[in-house]
């Protein structure tokens, strides 16, 4: 189960199996990996008739579990337990874990650490892009200065329009 989007499309469940390329034999029983993207599942399921009307028995077991994991609403939990006794033990464990202050503090700290890490990665990525743009601009400016200095200014329009030519000039000048 993933709490982030791994794939760009709207499908929230994927299953992969191992296949022998030579014999085409598929090993479903010995190796299978599944990805369940929770955000997509909840987004899609929240728009279904079954969820809007609380007729949750019409959902697949996989979809019911997605609702259970992401709902956060007592009425959804109780409806799932009512319609499918499989959820009874899970709901009891959830209530017990939710009432344990130490466990909840650990959970909140973990969530905060994940958010902080994501923020730092996003900030570093933004800084890296910004630095890359600045370095690129500096390289281009250096190239144009060198071309003008050597009376080759007439080549600037071609360097602007033709990335291959511009790269050749960068290499020529060691920029």
For the chain, domain boundaries: 42-173
pLDDT score of 52: 63
CA–CA gap between residue 57 and residue 84 (Å, rounded):
8
pLDDT score of 62: 84
Give the number of other Cβ atoms within 10 Å of residue 67's Cβ: 23
pLDDT score of 146: 96
Query: Which residues are within 8 A (CB) of 44 and not within 5 positions of it... i.e. 6 or more apart?
Result: 10, 12
Residues 38, 66: contact at Cβ < 8 Å?
yes
DSSP character at residue 25: -
CA–CA gap between residue 122 and residue 115 (Å, rounded):
10
When pLDDT is cut at 50, 70 and 90, the band that residue 65 belongs to is confident
The model's pTM: 0.53
How large a percentage of the chain has pLDDT more than 70? Answer: 95
Residue in the block written with tokens 């019911």: 64
Q: What are phi and psi of 21, to 5 degrees?
A: -65, -30
């Amino acid at each position: 189960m993933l709490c982030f989007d791994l794939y760009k499309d709207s499908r929230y469940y994927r299953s992969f199996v191992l296949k022998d390329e030579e014999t085409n034999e598929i090993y479903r029983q010995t190796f299978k990996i599944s990805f369940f993207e929770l955000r997509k599942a909840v987004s899609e399921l929240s728009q279904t008739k079954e969820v809007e009307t609380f007729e949750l028995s019409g959902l697949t077991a996989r979809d019911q579990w997605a609702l259970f994991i992401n709902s956060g609403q007592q009425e959804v939990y109780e409806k799932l337990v009512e319609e499918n006794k499989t959820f009874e033990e899970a709901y009891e464990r959830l209530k017990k874990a939710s009432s344990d202050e130490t466990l909840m503090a650990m959970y909140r700290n973990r969530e905060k650490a994940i958010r902080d890490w994501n923020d730092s990665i996003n900030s570093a990525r933004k800084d890296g892009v910004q630095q890359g743009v600045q370095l690129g601009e500096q390289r281009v400016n250096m190239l144009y200065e060198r071309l003008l200095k050597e009376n080759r200014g007439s080549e600037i329009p071609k360097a602007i329009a033709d990335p291959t030519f511009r790269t050749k000039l960068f290499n020529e000048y060691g920029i």
